[in-house]
Amino acid sequence: MDRFWRYCAALLMIPALLPQAAHAADKVLEPSDKWVLNYADDSCRLARAFGKDDDKVVLVLDQFMPAGTMDLSLIGKRLGRFGSNRVPLSSTFGPGLPAGEFREALTGTLGPAKTAILMTGPRDILNRPLAHKPGEPSEEIFPTTPAQEAAITEVRIAASSMRLTLRTGSMGAPLAAMRTCITSLVKDWGLDPAQQDALTKRVSPLGKPGTWLTPSDYPAGALAMGASAVVRFRIMVGADGVPTKCFVQQATMSPEFIKLTCDLLVKRARFSPALDRDGKPVASFYTNSVRWLAG
């Protein structure tokens, strides 16, 4: 995972950030590198650089399970102009599709050069509104067709006074490669991809996931330092609805939260199991993320 983010920073080759004034004018960036597909330990990632010099931006699409949604992140010098660690942001895949909804994105820095990063969380590539709030479960897969994916040729970003268009070219081949990666990932989890695709019911939480972790669980040292973290996790769930194992799929650089998150989830989370095409309970998985925010 760290190697991938270092690779993104290398694509940019930019120095440490200085405060910049916001610009209201739209900016259109053409590709400056090829798509790169990364088979990570527990996710699949597409990345491509756009623009040159100080305008260069890397688009990162992370997928953690078979779905039409993926986490969208942006890395680049021109993104270091927000004065808050949270900013409303919309991402719109297009052209010819409804505008993407504004949702909260987290800002941060990456690597020793403190390259700016915007982490937007899950986004649907057809801009369909997600029915759930961050941290709550979604039972929807948001399927897409190869024709719909091939028709996508750009991503438009709007945040504060920033307006940015990335000319991606047809997303048909990159997203087909992403599907191949995800299928391989599900096999690595010890599951049958065909069976998982044919589920009549996905794993669903019993009770509210927001109650699995509480403010009293916050690590004392991290709280005293005001440290925060975002942890994306995968729980393997048996046919009886009981977690068998927890894995961190992605996390910010806050190691004190990683083991704690999985330990508590395995202890407290319980589920209604997945059902196969015959209505029989089968082993499957559940993915979500938690934000540990101090203050």
Vertex 45 angle, CA 68 and 104, to 5°: 65
Q: Name the pTM for this structure.
A: 0.78
pLDDT score, position 140? 53
**What does CATH list as the number for 193-292?**
3.30.1150
pLDDT score, position 18? 28
158-178 residue pLDDT tens: 998 889 999 999 999 999 999
pLDDT score, position 138? 46
Arithmetic mean of pLDDT over the chain: 84
Q: Say whether the peptide bond before residue 134 is cis (omega within 30 degrees of 0).
A: no
pLDDT score, position 295? 61
Sign of the CA dihedral 5, 39, 151, 199?
negative
The average pLDDT across 214-222 equals 82
User: Where along the chain do its domains lie?
Assistant: 2-188, 193-292
pLDDT score, position 180? 94
pLDDT score, position 200? 92
Pairwise CA distance, residues 239 & 231, whole Å: 25
Residue 240 has pLDDT above 60, yes or no: yes
247-273 residue pLDDT tens: 998 887 677 888 899 999 999 999 999
Pairwise CA distance, residues 106 & 110, whole Å: 13
17-28 residue pLDDT tens: 223 333 345 899
Residue 106 burial (CB count, 10 A) = 21
**Pairwise pLDDT comparison (7 vs 140), residue with the higher score:** 140
Phi/psi for 251 (5° steps) reads -155, 150
Q: What share of the chain is helix, strand, coil (3-state, %, to 5)?
A: 25, 35, 40
